[in-house]
Structure 1
Amino acid sequence: MTDYKMFDLGDVVLQCKKTLRDVKLAYKTYGTLNAAKDNVIVYPTWYSGQHYENEWLIGAGMALDPAKYFIIIPNMLGNGLSTSASNCPAPYNASRFPDITAYDNVKCQHKLVTELFGIGKVALVTGWSMGALQTYHWGAMYPDMVERILPFMGSAKCSRHNHVFLEGAKAALLADVAFEDGWYTSPPTKGLRAFGRVYAGWGFSQAFYRHKLDMEVMGYASLEDFMVGFWEGLFLNRDANNLLTMLSTWQNGDISNNELFNGDFVKALGAIKAKAIVMPASTDLYFPPADNEFEVAHMPNATLQVVETHWGHFAGGPGTSPADIKVLDDALKGLLAS
């Protein structure tokens, strides 16, 4: 049994100039679309995440309340549910799966929203990490459709430092001989475990480890217990080729890298008409507030709200830090009420 549906997109010509055949976008909805079709929230997934790993931000009494809003979670291409390296037939299977951009993803999501549901206005787009990257794309690509955005712990463009981190994680995965250039017949577990250990130094902050929040709050018995139980466990459940697909999407994230803006990043930021709260974490090692400060300075209707936290990038993660979730939820409530 599955708890999601598939939207058939047919053949999609990607930014990389390859045609992906019979593309399917997995999605799940929460709540009911009202008669005016003006209670819509789009909430894209994050790196390696699937829709059910977004559900921690949805609930009765929360900003994303299904009793009030019609919430759509589209799964990113490459995440294992939507068309991905792991489920695509030859010839674009496995390591031949093409590069996918956030622009490709959002164009497909826009078709889902407009063609399947007949929606012309979106009250809010929000998302964490790569979900934030897609949020910025929604605002820049469809400025007359999107009324509000709240990207959290993410950016509109992958920084050079962020790119370098991802190269380290990728190298750890590729170094496993069992990876076999992407044509593995069983999971390259050594590479996946190494991938998780590279991630471990970045997903949470120095302060998180200094205060031993992995043990004191998350309940792990030791640092090694956390490294194996949380980080290795997280990526052992993922397909290696899918991880590489989404890693490429992340590295090539840039709201201006398309025919609309031709690489003019400031112009792309200026095109976002939506009322925006941009919410970084003070200790995020991927997306430091300084990157978002630049973005907000060039967005016409945006404010910066920094979450002061020890939890680093995972201040916006899948339900890990209740205090930070409340700050986020309160910001979402305020933005939706505006």
Structure 2
Amino acid sequence: MTKSPSFLTLENFRLECGATLSEARLVYQTYGKLASDRTNAILYPTSYGAQHCDIDWLIRADSILDPSRWFIIIPNMFGNGLSSSPSNCQDCGLSEQGFWFSHVDNVRAQEQLLREVFGIEHLALIYGWSMGAQQAYHWGVLYGDRVTRIAALCGTARTTDHNRIFLQSLRTALTADPTWNGNRFEAIPERGYRAFARIYASWAASQAFYRQGIYYRLGYTSLEDYLLRAWESNYRKRDPHNLLAMIDTWLHCDVSDNFIYQSDYKKAMGAIKAKTLVMPSTTDLYFTPEDCAAEAALIPEAKYLPIPSFWGHRAGNPYQNPTDEDFIRVAIQKLLEE
């Protein structure tokens, strides 16, 4: 039986945007057993739209993260509907009201969780895909002495201008729905969900994925069936205000945008002390291999290892893709053995 997630209440938690949450909530799930010396901890932050139950498929003995050896913690990102989010927190607004969650907020909350609940001072690994990789980079920059290894899959430490256009297109499509009043949705954004899902599907998988009709192998009867059941139905599970909140976090992603580095991006990247495995997908359309390679060059202990895949961005979360899963598993095992 799957155990219920736990949560940590963070009283008077001040956010980077200037707002203070009287009681922020960080929901998390753990897997495996923490060693007596607390040296086997792995942090695995969530990605866009995901909750812990959506990404824990790879936590098993024969996959990427082995819970028989490692104690793995998945903290749910602010805005994802479990931790403090517009859908469950009256104090949580949207960028229209000058409110947003930053990754600094996420990692500060996660650090407090590790220290206060588990007594963990050092992490053996931070493993992150997409927005999880963004959080991993923030950990390396803000808590460099406490992170031994980073595995950053299909994500960057700073949102590029090209990536920003993609995010703005998602936000614009969702808020173009007639139920949006300029501050909130007054009803279910039927048209907005439909447009949002199709934009996302066009970017998250590569042209080769669609050209080869991979979705037929996954059990879908047509392209439209794939778009409806694999994309639109999944995003309809998420409150639209939460989808906007996570976009806002992504738009604000920049490891140097904080009081320590004050927008000195190269200095922030050079401060990462962890052994860092940078793993883009060779066909990712918005976290491109070129952008990831440029960041790897700024990190002193980085290894650049692209995933040779036609699955695009989704190569970094290969729950339907054993070839890419095996490639990642081998790479992570090598990293953990160093």
2 CA distance for matches of 1:57 and 1:49? 14
2:67 matched to which residue of 1?
66
Aligned-partner residue type, residue 265 of structure 1: Y
1:120 matched to which residue of 2?
121
Aligned-partner residue type, residue 174 of structure 2: L
What does residue range 3-152 of structure 1 map to in structure 2 within 5 Å? 3-89=4-90, 91-92=91-92, 98-152=99-153
> For each residue in 1:41-77, what CA deviation from the matched residue of structure 2 results, as whole angstroms up to 9, or x when unmatched?
0000000100011112110133411111110000000
> For each residue in 1:14-66, what CA deviation from the matched residue of structure 2 results, as whole angstroms up to 9, or x when unmatched?
11111122001000000111110000000000001000111121101334111
2:334 matched to which residue of 1?
334
2 CA distance for matches of 1:61 and 1:33? 19
Shift of 1:2: 7.2
Shift of 1:224: 1.1
> For each residue in 1:274-322, what CA deviation from the matched residue of structure 2 results, as whole angstroms up to 9, or x when unmatched?
0111000000001011111111111110110011111000011261321
2:231 matched to which residue of 1?
231
2 CA distance for matches of 1:124 and 1:183? 38
What does residue range 185-204 of structure 1 map to in structure 2 within 5 Å? 185-204=186-205
Shift of 1:181: 3.2
Contact 1:182 1:241 in 2 (8 A): no
2:179 matched to which residue of 1?
178
Shift of 1:267: 0.6
1 CA distance for matches of 2:164 and 2:185? 26
Shift of 1:97: 8.3
2 CA distance for matches of 1:92 and 1:282? 37
Greater CA deviation, 147-156 or 8-17?
8-17
1 CA distance for matches of 2:245 and 2:92? 12
SS of 1:71 mapped into structure 2 = strand
Contact 2:64 2:328 in 1 (8 A): no
2 CA distance for matches of 1:258 and 1:99? 15
Greater CA deviation, 25-34 or 97-106?
97-106
Contact 1:12 1:20 in 2 (8 A): yes
Question: Given the two structures, how large is their TM-score scaled by the length of structure 1?
Answer: 0.96
Large movers: runs of 4+ above 6 Å: none
2 CA distance for matches of 1:198 and 1:83? 27
1 CA distance for matches of 2:336 and 2:81? 31
Aligned-partner residue type, residue 47 of structure 2: W
> For each residue in 1:131-166, what CA deviation from the matched residue of structure 2 results, as whole angstroms up to 9, or x when unmatched?
000011111111110000001011111010000011
2 CA distance for matches of 1:183 and 1:311? 34
Aligned-partner residue type, residue 226 of structure 2: F
Question: Given the two structures, how large is their TM-score scaled by the length of structure 2?
Answer: 0.96
Aligned-partner residue type, residue 300 of structure 2: P
1 CA distance for matches of 2:186 and 2:179? 9
2:293 matched to which residue of 1?
293
2 CA distance for matches of 1:168 and 1:310? 24
1:323 matched to which residue of 2?
323
SS of 1:257 mapped into structure 2 = coil
> For each residue in 1:78-121, what CA deviation from the matched residue of structure 2 results, as whole angstroms up to 9, or x when unmatched?
000001000012x5457758201111111111110111111111
SS of 1:334 mapped into structure 2 = helix
1 CA distance for matches of 2:270 and 2:125? 18
User: Compared with structure 1, are the counterparts of its residues 223 and 124 closer, same or farther at alpha carbon in structure 2 (3 Å cutoff)?
Assistant: same
1:160 matched to which residue of 2?
161
1 CA distance for matches of 2:142 and 2:169? 31
Percent identity, please. 44
2 CA distance for matches of 1:211 and 1:202? 16
Structure 2: gaps (5+ residues): none
User: Compared with structure 1, are the counterparts of its residues 101 and 246 closer, same or farther at alpha carbon in structure 2 (3 Å cutoff)?
Assistant: same
SS of 2:7 mapped into structure 1 = strand
What does residue range 238-257 of structure 1 map to in structure 2 within 5 Å? 238-257=238-257
Contact 2:93 2:100 in 1 (8 A): no
Structure 1: gaps (5+ residues): none
> For each residue in 1:221-267, what CA deviation from the matched residue of structure 2 results, as whole angstroms up to 9, or x when unmatched?
11111111111112111111101110010011111110111111111
SS of 2:162 mapped into structure 1 = helix
Shift of 1:334: 0.6
CA RMSD of aligned residues (A): 1.5
1 CA distance for matches of 2:300 and 2:34? 30
Does 2:267 align with 1:267? yes
Contact 1:139 1:146 in 2 (8 A): yes
